[in-house]
Structure 1
Amino acid sequence: MTPPFPPLAKVSERRGVDARVFREEIAPANQPVILRGLVDSWPVVQHGRSSAQTACEYLMRFYQGRLVPLLIGDPAARRHLFYQEMMAGLNFERRPATIFDGMRLLLSQMGNADAPAIYMESLPVADCLPGFTGEQAMPLLDGTISPNVWIGNAVKVQTHYDLMRNLACVVAGKRRFTLFPPEQLPNLYVGPLDFTPAGTPLSMVPLHDPDLARYPRFQQALEAAQVADLEPGDALYIPYAWWHHVESLEPFNILVNYWWTEKQASVHNYDALLHAVLAFRDLPAEQRRFWRGMFDHFVFEGADESLGHLAPEHRGHLGPITPEKAAAIKAILAQSLSRS
C-alpha cells in the first residue's frame, strides 16, 4: 500500500498451538491470529511445495467427477472479483466444469500475465474430494467440521465477512489477508444485501486504490486494519464477522478452510435484519432511539441481564428459546407478515 496510507498493523502470530490453547486462549480473544506451520505436515502441502502440477495430481486422487462452479473473470478487471461499472452486473461468470478441467485451465495460464480470474471457490471437500480429509489431520477442530477447498490463480476477493468462525489454511501459493474489526462497518461503505457476488455483502471501496473523496471514512478503517501474509503450511484464524480482503499472490493457489459456529440462529440473521428495517428504520428519530434501547436491552445484553428479576417461566417470548417457543414465535411473525 502506497502513501498516503501508513503501513498496516500485522496480525499476531503463534506457533505450536494445540487444541486446548486454541479453544481456551485464541478463540475467546476474538482477534485474528496467524498459526505458523499449523498444517506443514499435510501431504497436500508437501505436494504443493514440489509444483503446481504435483499438487493437482495429488488432488485428482480424490476426485470422482462431480461438476463444480468454475468462475471466469473479465480480463479487464485484472482478477479483481467485483461488480461491473455502475453495478450493472458482476465482472465474472460461473459455469459448470470438472475440477480437472479447472485445474488444467489454471496450469495452462500460469505464464500468462493477462489471464482472467480463474477460480473454484468454497468447494465442499466431503462432496468434491472424498477421502481428502483422511490424509490431512486438523488437530484444532472437532472432526465433524468439514472443510472447503478454494483453487485459483492470483485473484483478489473484495472485503467481506462470514457469519462463522473461519480457519483458513494455505496449501499452495501465498495469500495476503487484510482484516477489519466488525465495528468498522460504518467506515467500509457496504453494498447491497440482495445483490452480492457470493451471498455476503461487500465493502464498495477498492483496497488498493480507494477514492477517499468518495469514501472519506475508509481512512479510519485502514487505521484499524491488520494484515496477514501466509506461506504454504500457515493458517489464519478469523473470528466471527471480521471483515477480510483476500489476495492470492501466485499464479496457482490452493486454500482449505473450515467454518463453524457454536449456535445457529432460529431464523436467518438477514431475515431478522430486513424485518427490523421494515419495522423501525423510517420511524421518527425519537422512536428509533426508543427501539434501539429495547433491542440493546432485550436482545444484545442477554436474558440474564435484562430479565434476571423474573423467573425463567415468567419471561414469556423473551425467555429461553426452546424449539416449541421458536415455532410459536415464527407462527406469530408469519401471521403478522401475512397481514402487512
Structure 2
Amino acid sequence: MIDTRTRVYDNVTFEVFSQEIVPANRPAIMRGLVKDWPAVQAALLGDEQVVGYLKNFDIGYQAESLIGDPDIQGEFFYSDDRKGVNFERMRLPIPDTLDRMLALRGQDNAPSLYIQSVPIPDCLPEMVMDNHIPFIPKEIAPRIWVGTPLRVQTHYDLSNNIAALVAGKRRFTLFPPEQLANLYAGPLDFTLSGAPVSMVSLESPDLERYPRFAEALKVAEVADLEPGDALYIPYFWWHHVRSLEPFNILINYWWKDGPANMGSPYDALLHMALSIRDMPEVQRQAWKSMFDYYIFGSHGDPVAHLPPHMKGPLGEVPAQARRQLYQQLARNIAGKL
C-alpha cells in the first residue's frame, strides 16, 4: 500500500508554478488547471461528445496506434520471452481508432488500443488554439494520448512534463530519480517507447526476484487525476500510469531546460559503457573522480581558476563552437568503427 499522496495545488498561476512548484522538484497536482478547455467541457458531457469534438479537427493524419491482444489486459510490455513486445504498432486514421475505442467499452475480453504521444499540431492542429495552458510557451507542442483501459509501465522522461487530463480518470504512481537501483530498469537499447522501463509489475511485484522494489514503494506517491486536472512531473521522475475508466484522453507538454542543441545524455551513457565500464577497477575509479570533478562539480567550478579563453568545453560554449565539438566527437567515435 502506498500512503503518500502527491501534493495538490488549487488556482495555479504562472507565479505559483514557477516560484513554488518547479523549485520543489516534486510532482504536483494542479487541480482544475484546464477545466475550462472546450475539450474537457465536451468530455464532461460524455465520451461520444468529446470524440465528436476531436473529429471536428481531423485532417486525415495517420496516427501511430498500439494494439494489444485481450490477454495483455491493457499492460503494454515486453513479450513473455523478452525478445519482443506484446503489442503491434500501426498507423491508422484517428477517427477510425476513436470509434473503435468507443465500441469496445464494456466488452469482456477486448483488445487494447492506444494512440500514443502524437503531436497535436500534426494531427489536430486547430485544436491547439482553444486548449492551451497559458504559461506554457507556444513553441512547446502538446501531444495527445487516447486509450482504452491501459497500464503504462514505470518509466521516466528526460524532460519536464505537464500531463493534463481531458477525459476519464488516470492514476499516476511516481518514484524519485534516486530510486533507480530499486526499480530494476530494463535495457537501454531495447525499449518500449524510448526510455527504459522498470521490469517490475506495480500491481503484483515479485519481491523474491526484485527485493529492492519494496524500498521504492516506501517513497512512492500516488496522483489521481480527473478531467480538468493536470500533473507536473519533474525531469527524471519515474511514473507508472493506469487508466481507471474505459475511455481516456490526456494531453501533455514536454520541455527541457538548458541549451537547445545540448547533446543526449543517453549518447554519453552509451559511450561511457563502451569506453569506461570494462576498465580495471582502479582506472574506473580514477575516471569517476574525473566526472565528479569536471561534470558534477564536486569541488565547485573546475575551471574557475582559468581565464575565459582557456576554459574550452567547460566554459561558455557558443553554438558554433558546440557544433564543432560535436563534429570532432563524431570523428573520434567514427575512428573506432
TM-score bracket, normalised by the shorter chain, equals over 0.9
- 1:20 paired with 2:22, answer no
Contact 1:303–1:319 (8 Å) recurs in 2: no
Q: Secondary structure at the match of 2:301?
A: helix
- 1:54 paired with 2:49, answer yes
- 1:295 paired with 2:291, answer yes
Q: Secondary structure at the match of 1:300?
A: coil
Match among 264, 271, 274 for residue 270 of structure 2: 274
Per-residue deviation, residues 177-211 of structure 1 (Å, max 9, x unmatched): 00000111111111111111111111100101111
CA distance in 2, matches of 1:303, 1:67: 52
Determine the structure 2 residue equivalent to 1:178: 173
Per-residue deviation, residues 192-233 of structure 1 (Å, max 9, x unmatched): 111111111111001011111111111111111111011111
Determine the structure 2 residue equivalent to 1:74: 69
CA distance in 2, matches of 1:262, 1:24: 16
Could you tell me which runs of 5 or more consecutive residues in structure 1 were left unpaired when the two chains were aligned: 1-5
- TM-score if structure 1 supplies the norm length? 0.95
Match among 323, 328, 331 for residue 327 of structure 1: 323
CA distance in 1, matches of 2:285, 2:261: 25
Aligned residues, how many? 335
Q: Post-superposition shift, 1:323?
A: 2.1
Q: Percent identity?
A: 47
Could you tell me which runs of 5 or more consecutive residues in structure 2 were left unpaired when the two chains were aligned: none
- Which aligned pairs between 1:137-216 and structure 2 lie closer than 5 A? 137-216=132-211
Per-residue deviation, residues 265-320 of structure 1 (Å, max 9, x unmatched): 53222111111111110112222111111111111228962211212212133222
Contact 2:176–2:237 (8 Å) recurs in 1: yes
CA distance in 2, matches of 1:195, 1:210: 22
- TM-score if structure 2 supplies the norm length? 0.96
Determine the structure 2 residue equivalent to 1:315: 311
Contact 2:8–2:29 (8 Å) recurs in 1: yes
Contact 1:187–1:217 (8 Å) recurs in 2: yes
Contact 2:2–2:218 (8 Å) recurs in 1: no
Contact 1:18–1:139 (8 Å) recurs in 2: no
RMSD of equivalent CA atoms? 1.5
Contact 1:158–1:245 (8 Å) recurs in 2: yes
Per-residue deviation, residues 126-171 of structure 1 (Å, max 9, x unmatched): 1100111111131231222220111111100000111110000000
CA distance in 2, matches of 1:305, 1:223: 36
In terms of mean alpha carbon deviation, does 257-266 or 217-226 score higher?
257-266
CA distance in 2, matches of 1:312, 1:331: 22
Contact 1:32–1:238 (8 Å) recurs in 2: yes
- 1:100 paired with 2:95, answer yes
Determine the structure 2 residue equivalent to 1:135: 130
- 1:115 paired with 2:95, answer no
**After the TM superposition, which parts of structure 1 deviate over 6 Å for at least 4 consecutive aligned residues?**
none
